[in-house]
Amino acid sequence: MSQHRIAVVGGTGPQGRGLGYRFARGGHDVVLGSRSAERAEEVAAEVRGRLDGLGGAGEVSAATNDEACREADVVLLAVPYDGHDELVASLPLAGRIVVSCVNPLAFDKRGAHGLVIDHGLGSAAESAQRLQPDATLVGAFHHVSAVTLWGEEDFLDGEDVLVVGDSREAKEVVMEIARSVTSRPGVDAGKLRLARQLEPLTAVLISVNRRYKTHSGLRVHGL
């Protein structure tokens, strides 16, 4: 397995922290990024505590979001959709594989549903690609629960990571990184525009979680 140096933009949020933990546990070096380097260091220390005594783990460090991206070959965007475009436009992402797990959702009294991006013809991942034409965007890790990621299981091996992107090579890198989460490669789910389908699907899982009091995930049958 190739080791990567992965920056997690939004590394102090529950999804970023959980994925950073899993990536490091799988042997990758992880730089947790945040607006505040101090806050990032607090969470990095917490993650290092969880990894203590586990063989083969990568290093976990902390930085501002900007510095974290500069140090990495792969960048995970794990930020809220609110303010997404401004933040993404400001980051040094050129030449990097940029993985978006951003879920643009809205909530009202009927529950969660997908936000409509670009009149239904867009997604957070596609917005990021447009804002950063020299980065290579991949969509993945939308459906793994922060709670499960931070949990005690060795792997989320009942779940699959669906991976979309227009670069086959970048997808292969991310599919391999997904091994650190599910114990097997992510599933190549097609072109980047299918992020339009993957991102709001999280609203369905949130509904399932509410109804069944669980932290659900997805598995692709038939592979």
Q: Which of 50, 113, 130, 184 binds a copy of itself (CB under 8 A)?
A: 113
197 touches a copy of itself (CB under 8 A): yes
Residues 6+ apart with CB under 8 A from 120: 196
**Residue of the chain from 114, 131, 149, 161 that contacts a copy of itself (CB under 8 A):** 114
Nearer Cβ to a copy of itself (6/198):
198
Q: Is 188 in the site for a copy of itself (CB under 8 A)?
A: yes
Burial readout 4-28 (b: 16 or more C-beta within 10 A, e: otherwise): bbbbbbbbbbebbbbbbbbbbbbbb
CB 47 within 8 A of CB 54: no
Cα separations in angstroms, 2 against 71, 102, 105, 141, 177 = 17, 25, 34, 19, 9
Rank residues 58 and 114 by Cβ distance to a copy of itself and give the closer one: 114
58 belongs to the binding site for a copy of itself (CB under 8 A):
no
223 binds a copy of itself (CB under 8 A): yes
In the list 116, 133, 151, 153, the residue contacting a copy of itself (rule: CB under 8 A) is 116
Question: Quick one: tokens of 138?
Answer: 């991949």
In the complex, the smallest distance separating the C-beta of residue 184 from a copy of itself, rounded to whole angstroms, is 13
Which contiguous run of DSSP H or E holds residue 97? strand 97-100
Q: Are 123 and 164 in contact (CB under 8 A)?
A: no
Does residue 111 belong to the site contacting a copy of itself (CB under 8 A)? yes
139 CB-side CA count, 13 A = 30
Tell me the number of residues near a copy of itself by CB under 8 A. 45
Determine the 3-state secondary structure of 17 from DSSP: helix
SS3 of residue 103 by DSSP: coil
* Angle between the N-to-C axes of helices 195-212 and 124-131, in degrees from 0 to 180, rounded to the nearest 10: 140
Is there binding between residue 183 and a copy of itself (CB under 8 A)?
no
Nearer to a copy of itself, 1 or 121 (CB): 121
Q: Which residues 134-173 are close enough to bind a copy of itself by CB under 8 A?
A: 145, 148, 158-159, 162, 164
Task: Return residues touching a copy of itself (CB under 8 A).
Answer: 110-114, 116-117, 119-121, 145, 148, 158-159, 162, 164, 187-191, 193-194, 196-198, 200-201, 203-205, 207-208, 211-212, 214-223
